[in-house]
Structure 1
Amino acid sequence: MITILKFIPIQDGLYCLSCTDGVSPRHCHYVMKCSEGEVCITKSHLSKNGLVVFDTGCLSIEKCHSGQINVSDSHQLQQAVDQRTICFECCSSDLCNQKGCGQIGYPSPRGPVCFNCPQVSNPTLCDKIKVCDKSQECYIQKEEEFGDIIYSSGCIRKHSCRAHTDIFGKRNAEHCFQCCSSDLCNANCDAVPHLSTTPSTTVKTTTAAPLPRGCLGKEFLVLFMQNHESANESLLVDITTADTSYMHVTSSPKLNQTMKVIIDRNLLFTSYANFTFPFDMACHESVTEYKAVIIRTTELTGVTSFDSNDPFTNDGTLVIPTHKLSTEYLVSAIDGINVGPYHASQFAIGILHNNTQLSITFRIKDNKPITIDGVMFWSGGVYNKSFDELETFQVRHGSDLTGTYIKSNKPVAVFSGNECLDSSYSMCSHTVSQLPPIDQFDNEYIIPSFYNNSGTLIQVLSPFDSKVNITIGTNIISMLHLTEKEYKNIKVTTNEVTIVKSNRTVMVTGYAMGSSSNDPYMTVIPGVHQYLDYYKIVIPDKYRDNYLCVIIPTGSFNNLHINQTPVGQFGIVYQWSVISSGKSFDVRTILVKEGVYTLGTTDQVPFGLIVYGHRINDGYGFAGNFVSP
């Protein structure tokens, strides 16, 4: 039986759904642009298995009126001789055949139907579509890469479009970004109609997403410290977000233009992305350079960086968003077995704003002098200088610089570590961590030892006159009195958990001391009051073994899920329980593979996270968060 339905006069160049043997017209995710004089059709028929299936596409208006099918017509749907047509229907508006033959159409309310192609050389070649959520609208982007013009299109959250426009601008000669809110409006980047001006609204759901906190943000300053002279691999950045975000990477206008062209970029990414910078972006000692990079995003994101992708000397750090940066810092570093130029203690400062006045009060082990700008400084000496936006300044010394005090009149970013740290059990490897400002320190820490290392060195650094209680395992080993800017290094075995509690805030840094199968690395340790109930991180590739170490209140461990999977389904290589401030905590170290991981508790109980990994002659480590929530 063939049914021809009456339709209104046709429009020019209709867009019609175009699929074969679909379960329902509205589930077709492909479109075709009809020729002049054609309309949309829907045809239902029995498949070879006796199921009712649907064909959609374009057909000439004359054939619709006659109800006849000409299988030689390339614009018509093909029908096998053993199939029986049940319904044949024509309509004459864009996407009208999504509810053809009496089927249920698109849901209401809904977002627009958008072209959805991640990469095409011409937007007219995109034949895929997606029905957006009501909180989304369509976008189209045009970019140049390697001299080629590439277009991408799809759905994006409404406020992301506005944020993208605010940060990156609407268009320029090489790039175009547009949002719109009507069906199939993102067909052309040069003339997108119906730009959305509808204010975003908050949609309440019964299972709200975890509130982003801590080191998540929308702007980050990234820099890379000097690595061992043998390192020459690219500098790496990983970035994660809960949904889809635009990212804009910009370097100083004073940077060498050849380098700037390589660094500056715009990128749309979903869930996570990684990208590299040339190794020449690493800082050099005692010279003002233009090597800070700003990363801005439209959504809340987390960023980690690696000072080299070199297989023998690498380390990573969590990057602090700029709204958490401040004006006072203390440097953390240690001495290795060898002391000298290639094992130097070092720190680097990235400048956010013009006319930043910087003051560095040195604390140098053994009071060995350091020379900067032709002037010698001993421990207690003060170096002052003014810097401008996105400038960097690195200080490097053969002796330990821990306790060096950095003060500025405007917020800055500070990174520290060792050019190449060795131990009696390993070769040397680069260590780095961004440092939290003093106003982000905590007064209570639970520090697991790094698994599969010869030992862990814990450094407690106090900005104030403090009384610090240190417990290793079940034994209180010491009550320390640390004076202002004084520190204490504590060595523990590979299977002990240490608790540090202070009457005033301190910073705690952990150093993995390496082994015969991996080299040292470091990370700032998260304080108990800095724990979060949700994290999203990237485990880098090319490492032999990788670990997620969680410090979680007892009773909530079984509520922990990793990538929406109960934690009990993962391999646990180490477990311990401790009591701090009258509260019991479980420490668990979990073996994982490379990839993207989300960790969250179903009861929203905060927990600490430390991430690290090993390969021969190398290791890396970083925390899930080490600033206030």
Structure 2
Amino acid sequence: MENEVIHGNDINPEIYITTSKKKIVHVNVSASGVPNSQLYKTFSVIHGQTQLVKLNISFRLHNTELTKKAVLIQADDEIVVYAVNREEKSDDVYLALPIDALGKEYYTASYHPATHYCLFAIIGVYDETNVSIHLPQIHHLSVTLNGYTYHRSHWINVTLDRLSTLEVRSKHDLTGSHIVSSKPIGVLSGNKKTTIGHGSTHDHLVEMLLPLSSWGNNFATVPIPDRHGIGDMFRLIASEDNTHIHVSGINSGKPFQDHIKLSKAGHYVQKHYSSGLYSHIIADKAISVFQFSLTQKGHGDYADPSMITVIPIEQYAFEYTFTTPEYSHGNYSNYFMFIIDSSQKNGLRIDNRSLAGDQVYHKIPETHLVGGYMKISVGTHSVTHTDPTTVFGGILFDKANAESYGFPVGLLLKPINTVSTCI
């Protein structure tokens, strides 16, 4: 998606590809829609290795536009793909979802008030895909596409072909834009660049959204590490009318409760929770949850805004393999945030090693889970369990001066939400 270039120094977008497989996996990366891109790469990956593909800046989307800038990645076995959209002091990373896990219905998420634009982008997977976008009922909202201006509650109708891309941007909040399509599509969402909270620095936000079919009812949260009491922002979005949400937690040793009602599908609530809060979120209807790190305070608090999809507990996976992308000025401080059954925590392994003896685990109230985080080194890592049937959640969060990113390192993507609100 769109990012802000400063000092005239464009940085190439990057794609990282790895695998948890112990055998060689062959990969092809291509793009047929971008003129003169000459993007066609073939290579192999194996467990413990990562391949980096740098894209020309012409692949970055701009404004509200319908183009053909998608990248096709094919492999002969399972791979892990995540994309880095970095400019100087403006970076975020998203986990790319496989085509067979995509859906036909989404609600978007951004942060507002945005320093720059709120954005979402739609990726065509199949030819002749009819896409309808119902803009949220936000006062003064306007989106101009092909010479026509759309306002709040308007529908935008387009047809996408394979590898087509549509970016939509607005100075107003696009959270809750309802996207329905005739065939599966991919959707990215976030902000060109924004400040969250107080401070002078701002950062790019992006995640690849879960389709509505993968939304869940149960979530556990771990606060962004080492933020010295600055707290985290959360947005919770409803998939159905009259959704009731209960948040329970332990906030620096003290019980915490919050009760929320969302009256309409696509409506959201924004909450600023403490850096000491480990929470359990339960909803009577499927929701999506996003966690935002806040703008840095300075004086040793080095980090910046990033947007993280909080994965439903029902979608936790058995193992994760990932690499830590580079900072635009060197290396980040790297953290792996995790949630696991308290009875299984001793079996957790990172790169086949037990966690440190002084590892701290925090109870997630009203569950059998515990959460925590650990600092990790630069490079490729695998997080597994001695019992291969044990599932757990994982997030990679990296921070540096005026720049951060965070994303879930994997999930199951089961179709656990069977209720569709397609119009």
- Structure 2 length as normaliser, TM-score? 0.89
How far the C-alpha of 1:617 sits from its partner, in A, is 1.0
**Counterpart in 1 of 2:26?**
246
Q: Is the 8 A contact 2:110 2:191 kept in 1?
A: yes
Cα distance in 1 for partners of 2:16, 2:249 equals 34
Which one is further off, 243-252 or 619-628? 619-628
Cα distance in 2 for partners of 1:270, 1:426 equals 42
Q: Is the 8 A contact 1:426 1:519 kept in 2?
A: no
Cα distance in 2 for partners of 1:393, 1:469 equals 36
Cα distance in 2 for partners of 1:557, 1:514 equals 32
Q: Is the 8 A contact 1:444 1:528 kept in 2?
A: yes
Q: Is the 8 A contact 1:441 1:627 kept in 2?
A: no
Q: Is the 8 A contact 1:426 1:520 kept in 2?
A: no
User: Is the partner of 1:314 in helix, strand or coil?
Assistant: strand
Cα distance in 1 for partners of 2:200, 2:347 equals 38
Q: Is the 8 A contact 2:238 2:262 kept in 1?
A: no
- Structure 1 length as normaliser, TM-score? 0.60
Counterparts in 2 of 1:300 and 1:626: CA distance versus 1, 3 Å: closer
**Counterpart in 1 of 2:400?**
615
**Counterpart in 1 of 2:419?**
none
Alignment of 1:98-497 (within 5 A): 225-230=1-6, 232-241=10-19, 242-243=21-22, 244-252=24-32, 254-256=33-35, 258-259=36-37, 261=38, 263-271=39-47, 272-308=50-86, 310-336=87-113, 339=114, 343-363=116-136, 365-423=138-196, 424-453=198-227, 454-465=230-241, 466-473=243-250, 474-497=255-278
Q: Report the residue type matching 2:144 in the other structure.
A: T
Q: Report the residue type matching 1:264 in the other structure.
A: Y
Does residue 595 in structure 1 map to residue 371 in structure 2? no
The structure, 1 or 2, with the larger RCO (C-alpha pairs under 8 Å, 6+ apart) is 2
Q: Is the 8 A contact 1:364 1:401 kept in 2?
A: no
Task: Spell out, residue by residue over 1:387-418, the C-alpha distance to the aligned partner (whole angstroms, 9 max, x if none).
Answer: 21111110011111000001110111000011
Q: Is the 8 A contact 1:529 1:628 kept in 2?
A: no
Cα distance in 2 for partners of 1:589, 1:550 equals 6
Specify every segment of 5 or more residues in structure 2 that has no aligned partner in the other structure, as ranges.
415-423
How far the C-alpha of 1:373 sits from its partner, in A, is 1.9
Q: Is the 8 A contact 2:333 2:398 kept in 1?
A: yes
Q: Report the residue type matching 2:25 in the other structure.
A: S
Cα distance in 1 for partners of 2:411, 2:136 equals 24
Task: Spell out, residue by residue over 1:443-500, the C-alpha distance to the aligned partner (whole angstroms, 9 max, x if none).
Answer: 1001111113322111110110211112242222214244211111111121211221
Structure 1 runs (4+) deviating above 4 angstroms are none
User: Is the partner of 2:346 in helix, strand or coil?
Assistant: helix
How far the C-alpha of 1:438 sits from its partner, in A, is 0.4
Q: Report the residue type matching 1:595 in the other structure.
A: G
How far the C-alpha of 1:544 sits from its partner, in A, is 3.0
Q: Which has the larger radius of gyration?
A: 1
User: Is the partner of 2:365 in helix, strand or coil?
Assistant: strand
Q: Percent identity among equivalent residues?
A: 20
How far the C-alpha of 1:274 sits from its partner, in A, is 1.5
How far the C-alpha of 1:426 sits from its partner, in A, is 4.8
Which structure has more helix as a fraction of its residues?
1
Does residue 567 in structure 1 map to residue 348 in structure 2? no
Task: Spell out, residue by residue over 1:264-320, the C-alpha distance to the aligned partner (whole angstroms, 9 max, x if none).
Answer: 111123332112111221012222211001100111111111112x34111001110
How far the C-alpha of 1:586 sits from its partner, in A, is 1.2
Q: Report the residue type matching 2:34 in the other structure.
A: L
Which one is further off, 439-448 or 464-473? 464-473
Cα distance in 2 for partners of 1:356, 1:375 equals 21
Task: Spell out, residue by residue over 1:124-167, the C-alpha distance to the aligned partner (whole angstroms, 9 max, x if none).
Answer: xxxxxxxxxxxxxxxxxxxxxxxxxxxxxxxxxxxxxxxxxxxx
Task: Spell out, residue by residue over 1:170-208, the C-alpha distance to the aligned partner (whole angstroms, 9 max, x if none).
Answer: xxxxxxxxxxxxxxxxxxxxxxxxxxxxxxxxxxxxxxx
Task: Spell out, residue by residue over 1:64-123, the C-alpha distance to the aligned partner (whole angstroms, 9 max, x if none).
Answer: xxxxxxxxxxxxxxxxxxxxxxxxxxxxxxxxxxxxxxxxxxxxxxxxxxxxxxxxxxxx
**Counterpart in 2 of 1:504?**
285
Cα distance in 2 for partners of 1:479, 1:410 equals 33
How far the C-alpha of 1:369 sits from its partner, in A, is 2.2
Counterparts in 2 of 1:389 and 1:544: CA distance versus 1, 3 Å: closer
Counterparts in 2 of 1:428 and 1:553: CA distance versus 1, 3 Å: same
Aligned residues between the structures = 392
Alignment of 1:6-45 (within 5 A): none
